[in-house]
Structure 1
Amino acid sequence: MTKIKICGITRLSDALESCRAGADALGFNFSSLSPRAITPERAKEIIEKLPPFVASTGIFVDQSPEEINAICRFCKLQIAQLHSEQYSPEDARAITEAKVIKVFRPEENFAVEEVFAFAEKSGINAFLFDAYRPDMAGGTGETIRASLATRIFNALGDSCYPILAGGLNESNIGEAIRSLQPYGVDTASGVECEPGIKDPVKIKAFIQAVRKTVF
């Protein structure tokens, strides 16, 4: 079954609505540059009220491994998502307070060997692929070109747990899952009425669209 993460949570009501609709994980963005930014203090308040079996994920763009470990420990995050090219395999290995997902934002000439090399050097086995935009680190509302995504996911096969992100919504998620068969899918803008404010109807529709898709 395809795992589902609802990202960019800033309000308790949106977090609980996502849980009730069947989300497997929630994402909290700790980048001050994001329109979905949240403080560790506020994230902790929300995470403490989550039901069991829902994984809390921190999105990190410019924090050091030491800062990431501290935030993960403080908020009791289960996953640290490294959403910047600056993070090295050594950085990933230095994060010990949570399981790590490394994000790639591939351009057309992306070499899949980069993923294999990062996996070998870091020891992590989960990678998220998001649409590339030089001025934004995630939450762009744009999709990865279909031919590029297909090339990447086909090359990865069963070597890791690939997660698809980038402009996913109720309308396009079914075809994306059938085509790529990702381990998980991640959406933020696809279930919002404005950045950081989720739409309960869109959340339910997105999750239902994922659950009814078979491959």
Structure 2
Amino acid sequence: MDHIIKICGLSTPETLDAALGAGADWVGFVRFPRSPRHVSLDSGRVLSAQARGRARRVLLLVDADDAAIAEALEALDPDLLQLHGHETPERVTAIRARFGRPVMKAVGVGETADLEAVTLYRAVADHVLLDAKPPKSPDALPGGNGLPFDWRLLAGLRPGDALDPGGPFMLSGGLHPGNVAEAIALTRPQAVDVSSGVEIGPGLKDPDRIEAFVKAARAAFAAAPPAPVAQQQGIPS
């Protein structure tokens, strides 16, 4: 199965074109007003239409209620919902059932014990994204902070271990063109996700960094040994 490269937090037609031109498989649009990558419904509608048929479109939401989800879905018509807040497994189940879209749940990782949540979310979500747990600050964003977690937490796990992610996952948090190859070699994810790591300022994507990230990730995936059989299914292209 092909590996997936996602560029998240795209907010202008020019940078979206850069991501699509570089060969990104998935592109992400953020609906979270506190984020510098937040897009209005009107902008999101235009961007999503621009990407239709060229990449899988992901709508990122944070603890959104049903009305906000419905409003965003009507405007952007995404291929997949990314839940990046404190949504419980029960809430994930309810969102999937009500809105009929595939769901990816982000799990914040700061220590080994945090991986215990993966099993719970894998049972109810279509995909799991492992991100760095946000700093303990009231101003911290739930994602896009440019901080990695300790990838060695995943490097030592083997299929069947108690805290093994148990299947394919998307790796996020602090990735950039200079470290994505190391991250892939250590953790052997099925997919990688970048936002602030291809920016020249908060929310300001850089086409050159986007292209460099996609090239570095693609080369690293090609060089990495195949994942264990238990991890080869689950994240479609």
Is the pair's TM-score, using the shorter chain for normalization, greater than 0.5? yes
The equivalent of 2:232 in structure 1 is none
Corresponding residue of 2:235: none
* Identical positions, percent: 29
Aligned length: 212
Counterpart-to-counterpart distance in 1, 2:164 and 2:72? 33
Q: Which runs of no fewer than 5 residues in structure 2 stay unpaired?
A: 225-237
Aligned partner of 2:9 in structure 1 is 8
Aligned to 2:187: 180
CA–CA separation in structure 1 for the residues paired with 2:120 and 2:29: 27
TM-superposed deviation, 1:118: 2.5
User: What is residue 171 of structure 1 aligned with on the other side?
Assistant: 178
Classify 1:101/1:27 alpha carbon distance in 2 versus 1 (closer, same or farther; 3 Å): same
* CA displacement at 1:144 relative to structure 2: 0.9
In structure 2, the residue matched to 1:112 is: 115
Match of 1:204 in 2: 211
Match of 2:150?
145
Give 4+ residue runs of structure 1 displaced > 4 Å after superposition. 151-158
Q: Distance in 2 between matches of 1:68 and 1:43?
A: 13
Measure, in 2, the Cα distance between the counterparts of 1:92 and 1:125: 10
Task: Please state how far the C-alpha of 1:161 moved relative to its aligned partner.
Answer: 2.7
Letter aligned with residue 198 of structure 1? K
Hey, what's the Cα distance between the residues in 2 that align with 1:157 and 1:108? 13
Structure 1 counterpart of 2:55, which letter?
Answer: V
Given the alignment, which residue of 95, 98, 102 partners 2:101?
98
Q: Judging changes above 3 Å, is the alpha-carbon distance between structure 1 residues 136 and 151 closer, same or farther for their aligned structure 2 residues?
A: farther
Secondary structure, aligned partner of 1:104: strand
Are 1:65 and 1:91, in contact at CA under 8 Å, matched by a contact in 2?
A: no
The aligned residue for residue 51 of structure 2 is: 50
Cα-to-partner distance string for 1:192-212 (whole Å, 9 max, x where unaligned)? 111222111111111000111
Map 1:113-128; keep pairs closer than 5 Å.
113-120=116-123, 122=124, 124-128=125-129
Secondary structure of residue in 1 paired with 2:43:
helix
CA–CA separation in structure 1 for the residues paired with 2:168 and 2:65 = 24
Matched, 1:161 2:168: yes
The one-letter code of the counterpart of 1:5 is K
Report SS of the residue matched to 1:29. strand
Q: Which moved more, 1:92-101 or 1:18-27?
A: 92-101
Q: Cα RMSD over matched residues?
A: 2.0
In structure 2, relative to structure 1, the CA distance for the partners of 1:91 and 1:132 (3 Å cut) is same
Counterpart code for 1:41: D
Report what 2:141 is aligned to. Answer: 136
TM-score normalised by structure 2 residue count: 0.82
Q: How much has 1:51 moved relative to structure 2?
A: 4.9
Cα-to-partner distance string for 1:43-98 (whole Å, 9 max, x where unaligned): 1111112251401111111311442243123211111111112x122221222242
With the length of structure 1 as denominator, give the TM-score of the two structures.
Answer: 0.90
Kept in 1, the 8 Å contact 2:44–2:75? The answer is: no
Report if the CA contact (8 A) 2:144-2:195 is conserved: yes
Q: Tell me the equivalent position of 1:38.
A: 39
- 127-136 or 204-213: which moved more? 127-136
- Note if contact 2:20-2:54 (Cα within 8 Å) is conserved in structure 1: no
